Each structure stands twice: as structure tokens, then as C-alpha cells.
Structure 1
Amino acid sequence: MTVKLLASACVLGAGLLLAGCGSQEEAQSPAPRPVRVVTVEKAKTGRSVSFTGHVEAQDQASLAFRTGGRMIERTVNVGDRVRAGQVVARLDPQNALATLRAARAALAAAESQLATATNTFERQDRLLASGFTSRANHDVARSGLQAARSAVDNAEAQVRIAEDNANHTELVVDAAGMVTARGAEPGEVVQAGQMIVQIAREGGRDAVFDVPEQILRAAPASAVITIALSGDAGVTATGRVREVAPQADPVTRTFRVRVGLDNPPDTLRLGSTVTGQVRLDGIAAIEIPASALTAANGQPAVWVLDRETSTVSLRNIEVESFSQAAVAVASGLAVGDVVVSAGVQALHPGQKVRLLGAGS
């Protein structure tokens, strides 16, 4: 009797233990996480894309001296406005003036030699006509005259060069603008052609962007681009593409695009960061909400739902463009894929989810 009671007690205890383990396992099993999803569709619709760039002058020139020497003065600094004809720097003129004096002295000597050679030839010419000199002496006099004339021509050319160098010891601005950079300081010995100051000339400004090839192909011809100052969206301007780089950047694989601004406000200063927006019409593309975007392995990614198992997995994608509201996907998603659009921060691969709502 006692043995039967002990056996019954053991069986009952084992049953209670198993029941308790099952309840613990059920309590530890996490509930499916609630998420919202969108179904990927590809439609041919117009959309807007935005890019960040900066403002540059349409025409920018580096001013330099034509000759080398010691710079004794620079009258402008970065940020100064200059006018056409203004002197912005000077070289020590002593060497140039000494060279000019030497060239003029050489010209005077050559002219004196020419006068002597001319008299000699004329005398030999008269003697030859009278028969009192030989043809050989006449030829020598002719050669001397030609050499003297050549020496004078050379000396005159050297004088012109020396005068030109002396006149260019002052660096003069040829058009109004603003100084954007300086390349030498007073007291330095500069070389011919070395940049002294860089001038952004007045008359036009560009907004410069680095644009992917897909957008270049999709953008309509003569599209109007809206430009806004990044720090103040109320400062805007419009423009059209003025120049597209013929070759892509070897690192980013984007093309440098310059947009000529139409009557830009003064607050769009050189170097300002701007945002350019253009509308692309009739482009077939996959778009997902910006909230669906996350990262995996250092690359853009999204959580994709498997409807059969109600689990999610990470998938890397290639982003074509993005805005604050949406992301245009170049590759990585197909029509019909279900992407998590809300709740992406707390997910892990293989996790079960529960749909709060679905949209497309």
C-alpha cells in the first residue's frame, strides 16, 4: 500500500513539474513585435530629387606677375572687393629698370654701328661706281650694313621687352570682383606665373552639385532647378544647367554639374551651402518611406517580411536618391516585396512580427 502511494506521488510530482516547465517556456517565448509595412510597387510617376552643393563664381581668375622678383606690396586681402584697373600688388622695380637701361644703351650702340656701316657702304658704293675699289670690298661693306641693321632690330626688340617687364611690376585687375584667395605675401620672391591673388569676377554665380548618372539621364532638358540656402530656406533662386562634366569622378562616380543662377540674391554668397531640387517626370522607380531605411554591414538596408512565416530579414539596397520623406531605390528590392516601414529599430533577423497595418 505504501509503495503504491509513493509511486502515485512520484507520477503526480513529475506531471506537475512538466506542466510547470511548459508554462515557463510559454512565458519566456517573446510575443511577435508589432510593425507597419508597405508593399513595394513600381510606378511611372513624376518625383522630385534634391542634392546638396555650394555656390561658386562663374568666372574665377588667378592673377600673377609676368616676371619674377621680390614682391614689396599687396594691397588686398581675402574678401576685399576690387575694381577694374586697381593695382593689387607690386614687385621691386629696380631690376626691371636696370634691365631697361641696359637695353636702351645697347640700342644706342647698335644705332651708332648702323650709322658707321651705312657711311662705309655708301662710300664703297661710290668708289665702285668710279672704279676705285674692288667688288670684294663693296661686298664686305654691304654685309656690315646688313649686320648692323639686324643688331638694331634686335636691340629695339630687347628694349620693348624690357619696357614691358618694367610696366608689369604692378599687378592690375582687369575686371571687378572679389578676392577669394592669396598665394604670396609681401617680401617673398615670386616666380613668373605664380598665383598672387584669386579673383571671383562679378557677373554670375553657379550652384555646383555632384549628381549620379541615373539622375542626369532622367532629368528633362532645360529643367528649371530650384536653389535654396541650406541655413535659410526662405532664400531661394532658380537656374538651369550650364555645364556638365564630361567624365565621372573616379571615386564617387558622380558628375559635376554647374547650374547658372538667375538673379541670385546677395545672401547667396560664394561658398554658401545650398540645396537644389528638380522634378523628374515619367520615371519608373521604386520608392519606400524614409522611415524604412536602416543599415547593415555599413550599407543601406531594409527589413523585408516573409508573409508565410511572419518573420523579417535584413536586405541591403542601393539608394538612388532620397529626401526627408522618401527613398528612391536603384536595386535590391522587387515589386511585391513587403518592407517594414515602422518599428525597424528593435528588430533582429528571424524575428516574428505582427502587422499593425499595411499600405502600398
Structure 2
Amino acid sequence: MFRPALPRVLPLTLVCLLSACGNGEQVQQSIRPAMVVQPQPAAEAVNAYPGEVRARLEPDLAFRIGGKVSKRLVDSGARVKKNQPLAELDPEDMRLQLESARAQVAAAEANLKLVSSERERYQTLLARQMISRSQYDTVENQYRAGAARVKQIRAEFDVANNQAGYAVLRAPANGVIASRRVEDGQVVAAGQTVFTLAADGEREVLISLPEHAIDRFKIGQTVAVELWSQPGQRFAGRIRELSPAADPQSRTFAARVAFKDGKIPAELGQSARVFVQANGEVPLSVPLSALTAENNQPYVWVVDPQTSTLQRRPVRIGPYTDKLVPVLAGLKDDDWVVAAGVQVLREGQEVHPVDRANRTVKLAAKE
């Protein structure tokens, strides 16, 4: 008997519930996070070149004299300090040369003392007019020759003394031994490279540029550097040095790229990639997941950096790639674009910008 009344009771209950909810109070919606990115130059407009992090100063170290290596005190990869001994030559030959020079100095000084005494006696005899002027001039010339000989032998002794010090090869600056090319017992010539030192200080990236495209590069050109240890993060750099001649084996031109910020955490030997932008106007690109469309009109969601609200931005796009789509018009390189979940967004919606690691992003223009 109560069944016919149920259909009437349920609608009244729903009406009451709806009226209770519609009491004029708006339900506060939570601000949803949105992963944002900035447009990057299109991949086809940027060339990438592999490289290696090197020290800006890499002097080749060598002995200033030749000889047999008696001690090798460091190895590759060793950290050294300025004036630290790195290797030593057999000192016996230098010791004998130094002793010989010392003996020659003693002999020259003895001869000078003798001719000096003769000169004094001849001066006395000349004053008494007991000898001729020509006889005195002969003794005077002998004295001058003796004095010059002493100067010469003393200079040769100083050279031998310096060479004795050259038997020890020392580090010219703080740094790391990048390579070693000598072993104990090896005979080396003067100037032959023994070690290569990677001096502390600025770090650079060494790359090889192709021969057919060398005209596209110039010293001072702006590039971007990405370290393999920090994927996705690019650092500003510039081409500091460009080899004027190609390598005879690889037929490539060596170039050194300096970081604009000297505090980049780059370690020696790290792998890196250098991105060089093509000449002319370069289109931007965004992730494929950032693009959506309505009535065949593609658009992206751009976040207002002042209010963190969304704005629909129509764009003109180029051919798709696997992960990116080039944007030919409609975006600037300092815009912040939502990269995921674009189908559930709406105009004017407030969002909380985050990066791919879910870290809060401060919306600011690129420097």
C-alpha cells in the first residue's frame, strides 16, 4: 500500500537536498597543479655536437734539460699543488758538470789574481820609466782578459747550477695531472712532454666541428651546453677558440666552448653536448602533449605569470615529430605553457605551476 507513495517522496528528498546545497554559498575549488615548460628552439634548427669538459689551461710539462728519469713521483689523475715535484732526472751528470764549472771558476780567479799582481808591478816600473809603454800595455791586456775570463766562467757556473735545479720537474700551478708520458728509467730530451697538467680554474668543453660547416661558426658565437650528468638543463656558453686548421686524421676543426657562468659544476672528463642554433629565424617547439584543438584550430594553454591563471593561445604549427611540435606563430620564448592534462583545463582557471620533478616554478622570463 506504501509503494505508490515512494516515487513522490524521493523527488521531494532530492529537491530538499539540492535546495540545501544551493543556499547561495559557492564551493571553493582547490588550485590544481599544472606542469609547465617554456618553448625551446625546434630540434631541426639546432645542431648538437658531443664534447668533453676540459680545463681552460692545459700546459704540457717538460724538463728543460735532457737526461735519464730516476724518479716519477705522480701518476695520471693525481692532484698536485704549485711547485710540487713531479719527476726527477739522474743528478750525477749535472753534479759533475757543476763541479767542473766550479773548478774552472777557481782557476780563472787564480789567473786573475796573478795578472793583477803583474799589472801592479808594471805600473810601478812604468812610473819609474824602467819599462816601455808597450810592455805595460801587454800586461794590462792580460789583466783585462783575465777579468773577462772570470766573468765568463762565473756565468757558466751559474748556468750549470741552474741546470742542476732543472733536474727536478715541478708543477707550475695547482691542478690535476691529465696525462703521463714517462716511466722510470726512460731517457728524455729537453722539451719532451712528460706530463699534461689540467690547471684549476675555468672549465671548457672541447668539441669537433665538421669541415663542411665550419663557415657557420665564429669566435664569440652564443651556444648552449648540456652536461650528461644534468640532462635537460642547458647552460649558456660561447665559442672562445676555433682552430684555424683541420685535424689531419679526423678532418674536423677543434673548438673550445667557455661557460658564461664560471661557477658551473662541470668536472674534468665529463661528457657534454653543445647546441648551436642555426642562422636565421628559428621556430619554437612545445611538447606534443601541450597541444589541443577545437574546430580544427590548434591552441595551447599559457599561464599568466602575474596571476597564475590560464589563457587560451591559438597557434600555427608545423609538421609533428615524435615528442615535439614546432610552433610557427603564436608563442614567445618566454611564455609558460602547460605541458600535460590540457583537455580538462578552462579559460581563467588558476593553477599551481610545477616542473617535471613536481617542484614549484617561479614564472619569470628567460634571461
| TM-score between both structures, scaled by the size of structure 2 | 0.59
**Partners in 2 of 1:124 and 1:185 — Cα distance?**
62
* Distance apart, 1:213 and its partner CA: 6.7
Larger strand percent: 1
1:151-170 correspondence to structure 2 within 5 Å? 151-170=149-168
Check conservation: 1:46, 1:283, Cα contact below 8 A.
no
Could you tell me which residue of structure 2 aligns to residue 189 of structure 1? 187
Deviates more, 1:152-161 or 1:95-104: 95-104
1:255-294 correspondence to structure 2 within 5 Å? 255-263=253-261, 268-282=266-280
- The aligned amino acid for 2:56 is Q
Instruction: Say whether 1:59 aligns with 2:57.
Output: yes
**Partners in 2 of 1:98 and 1:150 — Cα distance?**
24
Check conservation: 2:219, 2:242, Cα contact below 8 A.
no
Match of 1:137 among 120, 135, 138: 135
Could you tell me which residue of structure 2 aligns to residue 147 of structure 1? 145
* Distance apart, 1:110 and its partner CA: 0.5
Structure 2 unmatched ranges of 5 or more: 1-42, 284-320, 325-367
Change over 3 Å in CA distance of 1:221–1:255 after alignment to 2: closer
Structure 1 unmatched ranges of 5 or more: 1-44, 286-322, 327-360
Instruction: Say whether 1:113 aligns with 2:111.
Output: yes
Could you tell me which residue of structure 2 aligns to residue 241 of structure 1? 239
- The aligned amino acid for 2:112 is L
**Partners in 2 of 1:225 and 1:217 — Cα distance?**
16
**Partners in 1 of 2:196 and 2:94 — Cα distance?**
25
SS in 2 for 1:60: coil
**Partners in 2 of 1:97 and 1:221 — Cα distance?**
50
Query: How many aligned residue pairs are there?
Result: 245
SS in 2 for 1:148: helix
Change over 3 Å in CA distance of 1:255–1:284 after alignment to 2: farther
Could you tell me which residue of structure 1 aligns to residue 286 of structure 2? none
**Partners in 2 of 1:273 and 1:154 — Cα distance?**
56
* Distance apart, 1:232 and its partner CA: 5.2
SS in 2 for 1:133: coil
Could you tell me which residue of structure 2 aligns to residue 69 of structure 1? 67
Identical positions, percent? 31
- The aligned amino acid for 2:280 is G
SS in 1 for 2:108: helix
- The aligned amino acid for 2:53 is V
- The aligned amino acid for 1:95 is D
**Partners in 1 of 2:52 and 2:113 — Cα distance?**
67
After superposition, the CA RMSD in angstroms is 3.1
1:327-342 correspondence to structure 2 within 5 Å? none
* Distance apart, 1:256 and its partner CA: 2.6
Deviates more, 1:146-155 or 1:89-98: 89-98
**Partners in 2 of 1:197 and 1:249 — Cα distance?**
22
**Partners in 1 of 2:249 and 2:226 — Cα distance?**
27
**Partners in 2 of 1:222 and 1:62 — Cα distance?**
26
Check conservation: 1:46, 1:282, Cα contact below 8 A.
no
Check conservation: 1:218, 1:283, Cα contact below 8 A.
no
